[in-house]
Amino acid sequence: MKLTGFRIQNFRSIIDTGWTYLSPDNITGLIGQNESGKTSILEALNSFYTGTISEDILRSDLSLPCVHCIFEIVKVDVEKELNEKILPGGVIDEIKKKEIIFLKRSWAEDITSHIELAEDEILKIYKRFYDKREKEEINIRERIEEAINEHDNAVRTAEKAFFEKEEKHQELEAAREKITQMQKKIKSIKDDKSKEVIKDNLTGAKKYLEECRNNHVAAGKDAEIKVSEARKLSENADLARKSIQAKKKFLINKKELENSYKELQKCQRIFDISYNEKERRASRTQLDSSNETYVRILREYERSKEDAIRKKMVAFKVLSGNSIDEVLNEVKKEKPHIDKYYSLEEAGRKLFNYVPEFIFFEDFLSLLPDRIDLHDIHTENTNIEGYKAARSFLLVSGLDEDFFQQTNNRILKQKIEKLNKEITINFQDYWRQSIGKHNKIKINFELEHYDNTNPDKSGLPYIEFWIKDREERLYPKQRSRGVRWFLSFYLELQAAALAKNGNDIVILIDEPGVSLHARAQEDVLKVFDNIKEKVQIIYTTHSPHLIDLNKLYRLLAVQRAVEEDELSETKIFDAKSLTTASTDTLSPIYSLMGIRLSEQKFIQKKNNIILEDITTFYYMKALTDMKSFEKQVFYLPATGVSNISSLVNMLLGWGIDFLVLTGANKEGDDLKHDLTKHLFANNEDQANKKLIQLDHFKSIEDMFSTIDFKKYILHKRIGIPESNSEYISSNNLSRSILASNFMREVKDSKLKWGDLDEETRDNFSHLFNELNKRLE
Amino acid sequence: MKSFASLILIHFFVYCDLSKFKKSTIFMSQDNKLYQKLLKQKDEISRQKKEIIESLEYARLIQTALLPQLSSIRKSLHNNFILYLPKDIISGDFYWISEQEENILFAAVDCTGHGVPGALMSILGITSLNEIVSEADNHKANRILNQLREKIMKSLHQTGRGGESKDGMDIAFCIYNRKTKELQYSGANNPLYYIRQNILYEIKPDKMPIGVSGIEEKSFKNNVVKMKKGDVLYIFTDGFPDQFGGPKEKKFKYKPFKNLLLEIHKKNMKEQKGILESSFSDWKMDFEQVDDVLVIGVRID
C-alpha cells in the first residue's frame, strides 16, 4: 500500500493539520522555519507506525494525540485479507470504490495506543450497524430482565398464597379445637339448660368449621396454582439468570484483559528501548512472561465471551417462545454472532499489517568505520562504532555471510575486487564532488585477518574500508565529515530500499545533508529520485538545494499560525496553496529562484514572455520544445496575473524587452486594461503588440482538445463535457502537478508534437504564429 | 332373490352414476375456477398491454416532438427525403438538423438497441447535440462528434473499465455550407455516400462509436468535400442493409444498397423515398423487421 496523505492532531505544536496530501511522485519535502513543526510531522508519522510516543509529545491542554494516514490500496486484495470475519454491509464496497483506506492511531492518557479503521462513510456505516445492534441488545436485555421479574413476582405471589393456605389451616384447626372443647363441655355439664345453650353454640361452630374447611381447600388450590405458575417461570428465569451471570464473568475477564494488555505494551516498550544485550535479555524475560499471562487471560476472555453470547442467545430464543431443545441444537451449530463481525479496531489492526514500513532517519550518526570485525556483523553487535553503516554497505554490495565462507583466497580476492568496482560506479552516479576534474572518489573494502599484534583476535577476520582519491588511499575517518555523511546516507537509503524491494517503505528524513556543500545537497535529491520507485520519502529541509524548482508540487510549507509566536499551532500549506504561506517559510524557494535568476538562464535581453503562473510556464515550455519553435524564447512565470504588473515594471526598469501572455478571462482583461492605461498611455495598438490573450481560452489547459487532455494530462478515460479548466477546478486537482508531469513526459521524449490531435495542434500553432509575429 | 339382485344392480348403477356425476361436478367446478382464473389473468395482461401501448404511444409523441419538423427540414435542405421506419412504436434511430447562418448541420443517428432503451438514448443524443451546437459558434463536424462522445461518456459514467455500460450511438454527421457548397462529414461507424455523374463515392467512417469502446478515444476524422450542383448525398443507419429477407433469407447488404441508390438517384426525392420503402418491404416480405431504418437523401441545389 502507498501512503498518500495524513492528518495529525494534538501532537506537540500541532493542533490539527487537516488532511494533507503527499506528492504523487513519492518525494515530499517539508519546508519551514526552525520551530515551525516540521520535525513534529515526521515524528507523528513515525509514531503512527511504531505506536510509541514520549510524554513530552502531549500538549499542555491535555488533548490526546491522534494520527490518521491514508493509504492507496496497491497489490492488496482487502476483501481477501479480511476474510476471517465479516465487515458490516457496505464497508468493503466503500473501500473498493475509493481504493483507499484510512487508518487512525489514537493514544490514551497512559500513552498506550490503538489503531482503527477510520473514514467518514465507513464510520457512518459502523454507527448504523452498532445502533441497530444496540437496539437488539436492549431488547434482549429487557426480555431477560422481564423474565426474572416475572418469576420473582410469581414466587412472591405463590409464597403469599402458601401463607394464606397456612392461615386457613390454622383457622380450621382452631375451629376443630373449639368444637372438641364444646363437645367435652356438653358431656361434662349436667344442667340441661346450659347443655342446650352449648349445643346451639356447637351448631354454629360446626357451620364455621365447615366454612373454614372450604376456605382451606380453596386456599390450598390457589397456592398450588401459584406455585405451579412460579415453577413454570423458573426455567426461563434460570436461563435468564445464567445469561446475566455469564455476562458478569465476561466483563470481569474483559477488565483483566485490558490490564494485561497494558502491562504487555509496557514490557514491549521497555524491550524496544533496551540499549544493550543484558538489558534486552532481562526485558525479554519480562516480556515473555507478560505475553504468556496475556495469552492465558485472552483465552479465558474469549471463552467467557462466547459463553455469555451463547447463554444470552439461548435465553432470548427460549423467552421468545422456542423450545429449549431446539434452541440448544441451533446454538450449538451456530457461532455466536458478535464474533462474525470485525470491529473498527480489529479491521484497522488487520489492515495495518499491509501498510508500508516507516523508517525514521533522525541523523546519519552511524558513519562508515575504518574497520569492523566480521564477528560483530554476524552477531549484530549494534554497539560497535559504525555498525549500521558497515551493515548497509554489505547489504548494498550484496554480501552475506556465505560470501566470506569462500575458502579459496584467490577467488575471494577476485570477487572483492569486482564488487569494489561496482559499488564505486554506483556511488559515483550520485556523488559528483571531486577534487580536480577527473579526480573522483572510490570506495573499497578488503577482507583482512588480525595478526599477532592483536593477540586476542589473532587470525580473526575483519573488513577494512577505504575511500580512494586518485592514487591516495585513505581510511574513511581520514576523509571529510561531508563525504562520510553522504556515503552513509547513500548506503542506508539504498540498503532500506533493497531490504524491502517493493514500494512499501516510507522513509522519514529530518534535515538531510545539513553539513553538505550545496552541490552535494543537490546530489541528495538525485539519490531520492533514484529510489523513489521503491520507497516513499518525506524529508524536512531549509536548504534551497534540496528543492527542485520544476517540482514544487512536492513541497508542503510548514509554519506557525502566528508567525512570531512559537507557541501558536502548526499549519501546513500544500502545493496548491503554497502562495499563501509566509515569505520566510517560502524563503528556500525564493532563494532558489534568485539563484537561477543570477545564472541568467531564463531572462535575456529580447524575446522574454511573461506568463501568468508556473502552470502556464510548464505547458508553454513543453509545447515550445515539442513544436521545435523556430525562435528562442524565454518564459518568465509570474505568481498569478495580479503580479504581472510589477514584473513588467521591473523588466522595463532593467531595459529588458518582453511580451505578456494571459488567458481570455476577467483577470486577463483587467490586466490588459491596466497596462494599456498605465504603461502604453491608452495606446491600444502599442499595447496589443506586447499583450497577447489566449484566443477565447480561459486557461492554457483549454487549448488542449479534451481527448489530448484526458490522454496526456489526466491519464484517465472519462467523459468530460465541460472545459478542461472547469474539470480541473471542479475536481480540485492541482494544475501545477498536472502541468509538471506533462512537461516531464515531454522531456522524457515520450510525447511528440505529432501525437497531439489536430485540434490541440491548431490551437497551439495559432498561438505560436501570434508569438512569432511579435518576437524578434 | 332375483329381484333383490336387480335391486342391488340398480343401486350399483345409480351409485356409479351419482359418483360420476359428483366427480364431473367437482371437475367442472375446478375447471370453471381455473377458467375464471385464466380469464382474470388474461384481462390483467390485456389491461397491462393496453397501458404499456398507451405509454409507448405517448412516448412516441414526445420523441416525435423532439425530432425536427419536416417543414423546417425542407426549409433548410430544399430537396431531400427522410425514410424513417421504426421497428417498434418508438425508435432508437433519429434524424437531427440545425441551421447556423450559412451552415446546415444534419445527422442520421443509430442508438444502441431499439424500442425503449434505444429511444432513451436517442433523447440523450438529441439534447446533447442541441446543447453542443448552441454553445459553440465555429463548427467542425469531427469536434462536434468528439464533444458528443464526452457528453455520452459522462452521462453513462463510462471510463473504459470492464463491467460498465457500453451503450452509445453510431452516427453520420454532416455540415453543409450553402455559400461555399463545402460539406464536412464525420462518421462514427456510419458512412456517407454521394453520387456525382453516376458514380457513387463512399467516405468511410471512423471505426469507433459515440461512447466508450475497446480502444482509447481518439479524434474523429473531419472529411471535407466540395459539393457540386446535382450531387446527391445519402446518410443512413444500418437498418436497411442489415434487414433479412429476399429469396435466400439473407441480409440486404451494402453493395445492393449502393446499386439501388445508383439506380434511383436521378429520380425526384419523393419518388426515391417511395422506391426505397417498397424495396425494403419487398425484401423483408414476412420477416420481422430487424432494426429501425433511417435513410436521409439530399440533392445539392
The pLDDT score that the predictor gives to residue B219 is: 94
CA distance A72 to chain B (A): 19
* Reported confidence tier of residue A502, pLDDT bands at 50, 70, 90: low
Interface predicted TM-score (ipTM): 0.77
Q: Is B10 exposed, middle or buried (0-12, 13-18, 19+ CB in 10 A)?
A: exposed
The pLDDT score that the predictor gives to residue A594 is: 55
Phi/psi region, residue A255 (left: phi>0; alpha: psi -120 to 50; beta: rest), is alpha
Say which DSSP state A460 is in.
Answer: -
Contact B159 A759 (CB under 8 A): no
The pLDDT score that the predictor gives to residue A436 is: 43
A760 touches chain B (CB under 8 A): no
Chain A CB contacts of B186 below 8 Å: none
**Which chain B residue has the Cα nearest residue A716?**
B159
The pLDDT score that the predictor gives to residue B254 is: 95
CA A52, CA A48: separation in Å to the nearest integer? 8
> Which residue has 351409485 as its cell numbers?
B15
Chain B CB contacts of A720 below 8 Å: 150, 154
The pLDDT score that the predictor gives to residue B52 is: 86
B60 touches chain A (CB under 8 A): no
In contact, A90 and A29? CB cutoff 8 Å: no
CATH class entry, domain B67-299 = alpha beta
CA A450, CA A373: separation in Å to the nearest integer? 10
- Expressed in angstroms, the distance from the first to the final Cα of chain A is 53
The pLDDT score that the predictor gives to residue B19 is: 46
Backbone angles phi, psi at A721, to 5 degrees: -75, -25
Reply yes or no on whether the pLDDT at A392 is more than 70. Answer: yes
CA A106, CA A116: separation in Å to the nearest integer? 8
Reply yes or no on whether the pLDDT at A1 is more than 90. Answer: no
List strand residue ranges (DSSP E) for A396-535, in order: 441-449, 461-469, 472-474, 505-509
| Non-local CB neighbours of B187 within 8 Å, separated by 6+ positions | B171, B172, B173, B203, B204, B205, B206, B220
- pLDDT tens column, A325-379: 888 888 777 665 556 788 899 999 999 988 998 988 766 557 788 888 888 888 8
> Which residue has 455550407 as its cell numbers?
B177
Lowest mean pLDDT among A8-17, A258-267, A640-649, B292-301: A640-649
Average the pLDDT over A150-176 and give the result: 91
B129 touches chain A (CB under 8 A): no
Tell me the three state secondary structure of residue B98. Answer: strand
In contact, A672 and A662? CB cutoff 8 Å: yes
The pLDDT score that the predictor gives to residue A433 is: 56
- pLDDT tens column, A659-691: 999 988 888 888 888 888 777 777 888 788 888
In contact, A489 and A365? CB cutoff 8 Å: no
A726 touches chain B (CB under 8 A): no
Lowest mean pLDDT among A259-273, A417-431, A589-603, A666-680: A589-603
The pLDDT score that the predictor gives to residue B229 is: 93
CA A145, CA A241: separation in Å to the nearest integer? 9
Domains parsed from chain A with CATH numbers: 1-76+503-596 (3.40.50.300), 125-341 (1.20.1270), 363-500 (no CATH), 602-774 (no CATH)
- pLDDT tens column, A731-752: 888 888 888 888 888 887 778 9
CA distance readout (Å), A186 to A172, A199, A644, B268: 21, 7, 137, 146
> Nearest CA to A557 among A537, A569, A574, A539?
A574
The secondary structure element, H or E, covering residue A213 is helix A192-272
CA B53, CA B56: separation in Å to the nearest integer? 5
Chain B CB contacts of A717 below 8 Å: 153, 158-161, 212, 216-217
* Reported confidence tier of residue A280, pLDDT bands at 50, 70, 90: confident
* Reported confidence tier of residue A435, pLDDT bands at 50, 70, 90: very low
> Which residue has 506528492 as its cell numbers?
A23
Phi/psi region, residue A462 (left: phi>0; alpha: psi -120 to 50; beta: rest), is beta
Contact B216 A717 (CB under 8 A): yes
Backbone angles phi, psi at A428, to 5 degrees: -65, -20
Contact B217 A757 (CB under 8 A): no
Chain B CB contacts of A716 below 8 Å: 159
Phi/psi region, residue A449 (left: phi>0; alpha: psi -120 to 50; beta: rest), is beta
> Nearest CA to B146 among B132, B135, B159?
B132
Q: What is the mean pLDDT of chain A?
A: 84
Cell of A438: 577527473
CA A774, CA A629: separation in Å to the nearest integer? 14
Contact B219 A705 (CB under 8 A): yes
CA distance B222 to chain A (A): 10
**Residue, of A275 and B197, whose pLDDT is higher:** B197
| Non-local CB neighbours of A750 within 8 Å, separated by 6+ positions | none
CA B218, CA B232: separation in Å to the nearest integer? 30
Q: Which amino acid is at A625?
A: D
The pLDDT score that the predictor gives to residue A740 is: 82
Burial readout A36-67 (b: 16 or more C-beta within 10 A, e: otherwise): bbbbbbbbbbbbbbebbbeeebbbeeeebbbb
* Reported confidence tier of residue A388, pLDDT bands at 50, 70, 90: confident
> Nearest CA to B269 among B241, B294, B298?
B298
Backbone angles phi, psi at B171, to 5 degrees: -155, 145
Regions of chain B short of the pLDDT cut 70: 1-30, 113-114, 162-163
The pLDDT score that the predictor gives to residue B18 is: 44
| Non-local CB neighbours of A528 within 8 Å, separated by 6+ positions | A27, A537, A539
The pLDDT score that the predictor gives to residue A368 is: 83
In contact, A20 and A574? CB cutoff 8 Å: yes
CA A249, CA B141: separation in Å to the nearest integer? 78
Considering only residues 588 to 627 of chain A, which have any Cβ-Cβ distance to chain B shorter than 8 Å? Answer: none
The pLDDT score that the predictor gives to residue A603 is: 67
CA distance B102 to chain A (A): 22
CA distance A674 to chain B (A): 30
CA dihedral A46, A517, A392, A5 (to 10 degrees): 30
**Residue, of B41 and A74, whose pLDDT is higher:** B41
- pLDDT tens column, A133-156: 899 889 988 999 999 999 999 999
Lowest mean pLDDT among A457-461, A650-654, B41-45: A650-654
Q: What is the DSSP string of A74-124?
A: -S--HHHHT-SSBPPTTHHHHHHHHTEEEEEEEE-TTS-EEEEE--HHHHH
**Residue, of B265 and A607, whose pLDDT is higher:** B265
In contact, B234 and B43? CB cutoff 8 Å: no
Q: Which of A236-250, A319-333, A334-348, A437-451 has the highest mean pLDDT?
A: A236-250
> Nearest CA to A414 among A441, A454, A447?
A447
Reply yes or no on whether the pLDDT at A395 is more than 90. Answer: no
A284 touches chain B (CB under 8 A): no
Chain B CB contacts of A758 below 8 Å: 219, 222
Contact A757 B218 (CB under 8 A): yes
**Residue, of B272 and A588, whose pLDDT is higher:** B272
CA B61, CA B119: separation in Å to the nearest integer? 12
